Amino acid sequence: MSTIAQNLQAVASTIVSTAQEAGRAADSVRLLAVSKTFGAEAVLEAVRAGQRAFGENYLQESLDKIAAVRAALAARPDEPALAARPGEPALEWHFIGPIQSNKTRPIAEHFDWVHTVEREKIAQRLSEQRPAGMAPLNICLQVNISGEASKSGVAPAELAELARRVAALPNLRLRGLMAIPEPTEDYAEQRAAFAQLRQLYEQLRADGLALDTLSMGMSADLRAAVVEGATIVRVGSAIFGARHYPAAH
């Protein structure tokens, strides 16, 4: 078994045990493997281990990687571990990085999910640029839950209005909320931040929005996120190892 496969198994085990401790169904939490800065072969190794959903932060890197992975899958049709499961897409790609207005078209054209919408203008462009014939683009609104000046995301006080506007756009499907709280090693503080996002999510649902997704939790705060209701956890280094960032993206 490869290192990536072993790591995926370990992360999945943590998710299952934590969900069970919290009284949740093990399959109520999806693992998003964050493959930014790792190449196509690392993604393919994860696919061989059963992983199908991947998160990317940097647009040009991700477009090159998606193309390379697609070509590799097409070139290896007889490798069962790389085959699409019946009724499912071969792979699911999630954009989880900051979005500039001039980058929305390729995101709308190549991704299944976007977790980092924080402005109506970005949502409108994604809606307008989603190609005809593709399924609606799944959207999460990023919330600046910790109020950090340097952190992206809509302020909690402005969330409800943005959610209503985004939910009304064609070619998009508003699925839920995402947050990256201020880093802390304190488990109680981790839980408190995620609980705040969950409360905002539950309020939007109570107001009539059909949301089903809480994208929260990474390698360092995975357990706290699952306990507080995460439905997608975004895990990178615990799967692929330490990252080495290039000078620019």
Q: What would the pLDDT profile of 131-184 be if each residue is shown by its tens digit?
A: 999 999 999 999 999 877 777 899 999 999 999 999 999 999 999 999 999 999
- Helix-strand-coil percent breakdown of the chain, rounded to 5? 45, 15, 35
pLDDT of residue 157: 96
State the pTM of this model.
0.94
Does any domain span residue 229?
A: yes
**Residue type for position 204:** L
Task: Report the CATH number at residue 88.
Answer: 3.20.20.10
Report the distance separating Cα 142 and Cα 152, nearest Å.
7
**Per-residue tokens: 69:** 């992975």
* Residue range 29-38: mean pLDDT, rounded: 97
Show the 3-state SS of 110-149: HCCEEEEECCHHHHHHHHHHCCCCCCCEEEEEEECCCCCC
Cβ–Cβ < 8 Å for 19, 25: yes
The total of structural domains in the chain comes to 1
DSSP class per residue in 196-219 = HHHHHHHHHHHTT----EEE---G
Torsion of CA 110, 174, 51, 68, to 10 degrees: 10
pLDDT of residue 84: 65
Cβ–Cβ < 8 Å for 211, 231: no
Per-residue confidence band for 247, with pLDDT thresholds at 50, 70 and 90: low
Does any domain span residue 247?
A: no
pLDDT of residue 88: 57
Of 29-38, 67-76, 166-175, 193-202, the poorest mean pLDDT is in: 67-76
248 pLDDT above the threshold of 60? no
Domain that holds residue 133: 3-240
Does any domain span residue 249?
A: no
Q: What is the mean pLDDT of the chain?
A: 94
pLDDT of residue 80: 73
125 pLDDT above the threshold of 70? yes
What residues have CB less than 8 Å from 87, skipping those under 6 apart? none
Does any domain span residue 124?
A: yes
Does any domain span residue 197?
A: yes
Does any domain span residue 51?
A: yes
Report the distance separating Cα 145 and Cα 92, nearest Å.
27
Give the strand pairing for 53-56 and 113-117.
Answer: unpaired
Does any domain span residue 184?
A: yes
Does any domain span residue 245?
A: no
